[in-house]
Structure 1
Amino acid sequence: MRIGELARRVGVSTRALRYYEQRGLIRSRRSANGYREYDESDVRIVTEIRELMSVGFTLEDARPFVDCLRSGHPSGGSCPESVAVYRRKLAEIDREIRDLLARRSEVAAQFADACPGCLLRRGES
């Protein structure tokens, strides 16, 4: 399939697909007239990349998932390298949550000091 069809099927721009190709995440063949041609497997690969990016993974994070799919696994997350990326990402998110909770506690304390007797409204606690 040509780049426009792949872009429509996965809901991304052709520019994004060219960038993924430049980064080595997808591969195209060139037809006789120079058009990029993609395989059906590229639909699954680009879908995997987009799903990972939608929850905060980077393109580099997606590389082991893509490699896993290319090696024939039904899921990009089933290879040891992908599992390691999941673990690292979860640890990163946990750190961010701890940091946010600490910042929230500090702001709540400052608010309590600045406005004794003020109550946080529902949803602000």
Structure 2
Amino acid sequence: MRIGELAQRAGTSTRTLRYYEQHGLIRSRRATNGYRAFDEAELRVVHEIRSLLAVGFDLDDIRPFVACLRAGHATGDVCPDSVAVLRRKLAEVDACRDRLDAVREQLHHQLTEAIAHRERTCLRRTAP
């Protein structure tokens, strides 16, 4: 299939597909007229790339998943390198959650103190 058809079927742009190709994530061959020709398997690869990008993976993170698909697996997350990336990303998310929990706790504490201070101040002003 040509790049326009792949883009339409994958729900992306031809520019994005050229970007993926430039970074070695998808493959094409050149037809005699110079147009890119993509195999049907590239559609699955593009879907995998897009779903991983949507949850925060970068292009380097995605490479093992693409390699896993190219090795003939039905999904890109079953190979050891993909599992390693998943573990690392999960650890990153957990660390981020821990930082956010700490920030939330600090904000909650600040808010509680601010409300208590405000109430004490207002009570002093209204006292006879």
Give CA-to-partner distance per residue, 1:68-98, whole Å, 9 cap, x none: 0001111100100000000001000000100
Identity, in percent, stands at 59
**Residues of 2 paired with 1:111 and 1:19: CA distance?**
47
**TM superposition shift of 1:117:** 7.8
Q: Name the TM-score, length of structure 1 as normaliser.
A: 0.91
Instruction: Look up the match of 1:106.
Output: 106
Instruction: Look up the match of 1:95.
Output: 95
Alignment of 1:56 with 2:59, yes or no, is no
Supply the AA of the counterpart residue of 1:111.
L
- Aligned length in residues: 118
Instruction: Look up the match of 1:47.
Output: 47
Which protein is bigger by CA-based radius of gyration? 2
**Residues of 1 paired with 2:77 and 2:93: CA distance?**
18
Segments of structure 2 that go 5 or more residues without pairing to the other structure are 119-128
**TM superposition shift of 1:58:** 1.1
Alignment of 1:8 with 2:11, yes or no, is no
Supply the AA of the counterpart residue of 2:112.
A
Query: Where does structure 1 differ by over 4 angstroms across 4 or more consecutive aligned residues?
Result: none
**Residues of 2 paired with 1:9 and 1:115: CA distance?**
55
**TM superposition shift of 1:50:** 0.6
Instruction: Look up the match of 1:84.
Output: 84
Q: Name the TM-score, length of structure 2 as normaliser.
A: 0.89
Higher helix share: 2
**Residues of 2 paired with 1:12 and 1:60: CA distance?**
20
**Residues of 2 paired with 1:43 and 1:109: CA distance?**
50
Instruction: Look up the match of 2:121.
Output: none
